[in-house]
Structures are given as structure tokens and as C-alpha cells.
Amino acid sequence: MKEFFLGMDEELLIAKETPNGYTTFSRLNGLQPTRLAFDPQNESVIYCGTSNNGLWKSEDGGDNWSKIGTEKQLGIRSERVTSVAVRPSKKTSENNIVYAGTEPSMLYYSNDKGATWHEFTGIQTLPSKRNWSFPPRPYTHYVRWITPSYLNEEHLSISIEAGAFIHTKDHGTTWIDRTENSPIDIHTLLAHPKSPGKLYAACGDGVHKKGHSYAESDDEGQSWQYMSAGLENHPYAYNMVVNPNDPYDRIISAAKNAAHAHSLSEYSAIYRKQGNHPWADITAGLPENSSSIHNLAADPTSPGVFYAMNNYGIYRLKKKATKWEKLGISWKDKYLNQRPSCFIVKEV
């Protein structure tokens, strides 16, 4: 049975699969979820960042939530928590380290499951910071994605919206600033347990720099290769997921430009890249004329099965299928006018 967690404009919508269909309920009402992360040691523990109300934690699979990171001396100093991640392997005191990023760009970590937090202050002195700027609000910027390494527990990769890919090899003692060839507008930054050291980047760079919509690194961000053939009609890459059983099977959502990607009245597409083949459009079955850009997830127990979520609902692409099918989840009319922000699927 699957459980779906959907970040909507003013709530976290949870849909549970049952033998008789799907049941739905809302949590974090009145808040705007931005990013979700499970603790790999215990998936009943969930962290959720919000747009203006800090970081929240559930210890019972999403039924009950409490706000964390509010301590004056050892807390998170911004209420705009834009990114959350949990290290996939244990490092300190048998806990998985939790990471949180904010707007403006500040980066924190917790060794005690979110009770206390420490800031990575080193990112504040990087030379590229003077050029960090989020285009809709050019006076600010934020931590877009936090990606722990599967190869080296001291390595951490970060994307700043917009302006830089930065990384550390010693868990924040020193930081390596963006290189000339690295992407500057990474919307999704992923790693893969079956290909340690590889990074995947879905980028907005392609709108202004031809061929820079998608990039991969085989050395944890020291060098990058751009692989954007096939995305020419939709160079603004946004969300992405990789087949958990095949690190060379990637799916990406993309739009013509930023305005289309953040609209509810324009078209966005989904593409798939397998091996070294060009990206191929696999949008069949999704809304044909307009929708919010698609948030993507992989099935946690059926490799090759994927899900796409937009303001019309959740769609599934079965293994070897050529068309998405809509799941029979009850969908309120109000969601049609919302742009979902985050999406996670887990097995229960």
C-alpha cells in the first residue's frame, strides 16, 4: 500500500491507499509546506519545511506535528525553511544528521533529530555570494536543495536559488565555491545509492544558455557534463527523479520558461532519459493544455514505476507503460487553483 504526501498552498495533504480505494486527510493547515524529508532509520519520522512558519516534525507518520528549531541560541534563525534533507547513513550518536536551508541563504544541521541546530557559517563568506539573487525577488536568495553524499559521509552538496552550486568535503569546515562550468540555477539536485559520487542537476540555466538544462557530475560536483539534447522545446528543467534501481533512468519535468513553469495556465511536459539516449517526451496521459508544473516521485518498492503530481491530482506511469493514468484520489476544487510544492511517496 502506498502513502502520498503532497505539499499544497495551505496544508499538507496525505492520501493513503486502502483495499477500497484512497482516503485523504489534511495536516499543517494554514501553513505552506516547501520540502519534506523522511528519516531513513524510521520513516514515521518526517520533517517539513514551511514558507513562513519554520520547520515542523512528526514522529507518527504525519498524524501529529510539532514545530522545532525555535531555540534562541541553537535554533534556525529564519521562518522561511526552503529545503530539508536527512543523511542516508548514520554518523553521530546513532542518529542520521538532519539538514535545513532557509531564505535568506543559511544552512543548518542537527545531530539530535532536530532538538538543536548548528549553522554552517562558512557559506556566508564565499565570493559568489555577491551574485546570489532570486529573480522574482532579486534582493534575496535561498537554499534550494541539500544533497548528502552516498560516497563520503563528510561530503555535502548545495544549490542556491539562484546563483551557485557549492559543496564541502569536510562537513562544512571548508566550502568549495562554484566553478566556471557549474550550473548556477539548479532546481533539483540528486544523488543515487547505486552510483556513489554521481550528481544529477535539473536546471533553469537552459533558458539563457543553450544546452544547459540538465547536467551530471561523476565526481561529486568538481566537474560537470551537460546532457540536454531533447529538451530544446522546454529548456527550463524543474523537478526530477531517478529510477531507484537504475541510475541511468531519469525523469524530469520542464517548461518553456520560468513564467510557464510557475503558471497554472501554461503547458509543461515530462521527459525521460535512459542511458545515453536523448531526452524523450513522455507526457501522454497528463493534462494536455495546462497545469502546474509536475512534481515527481519514484515508487519505493516497484522500480520503474513513477508518479507525477500537479494541481489536477496524482498520475502514475507503470513500468514499460507509454501513458500516465490518473489515480482515483478525491480531489477538491480548490486544489485546481494551487501550485503544489513538494511530493513524496512511501510504502506502508
Instruction: Tell me the CA distances in angstroms from 3 to 137, 171, 283, one per residue in order.
Output: 35, 33, 24
**102 — alpha (psi -120 to 50), left (phi > 0) or beta?**
beta
Which of 159, 178, 197 corresponds to the end of one domain? 178
pLDDT at 92 over 80: no
Same domain, 339 and 196: yes
Same domain, 217 and 262: yes
Contact of 43 with 18, CB cutoff 8 Å:
no
For residue range 112-144, what is the model confidence (pLDDT) as tens digits?
999 999 999 999 999 999 999 999 899 999 999
Q: How far apart are CA 44 and CA 189, in angstroms?
A: 24
Same domain, 214 and 93: no
Same domain, 155 and 297: no
Q: How far apart are CA 171 and CA 139, in angstroms?
A: 28
- Does 8 map to a domain? no
Number of domains within the chain:
2
pLDDT at 316 over 80: yes
Same domain, 196 and 136: no
- Does 229 map to a domain? yes
Contact of 116 with 72, CB cutoff 8 Å:
no
CATH assignment at residue 307 = 2.130.10.10
pLDDT, residue 90, reads: 67
Same domain, 195 and 340: yes
Same domain, 59 and 95: yes
Same domain, 227 and 274: yes
pLDDT at 265 over 80: yes
- Does 21 map to a domain? no
- Does 1 map to a domain? no
pTM of the model: 0.95
pLDDT, residue 95, reads: 79
The boundaries of the domain holding residue 314 are: 179-348
Same domain, 186 and 168: no
- Report the sign of the C-alpha dihedral through residues 226, 231, 232, 237, in that order: negative
- For residue 95, what is the DSSP state? B
pLDDT at 72 over 90: no
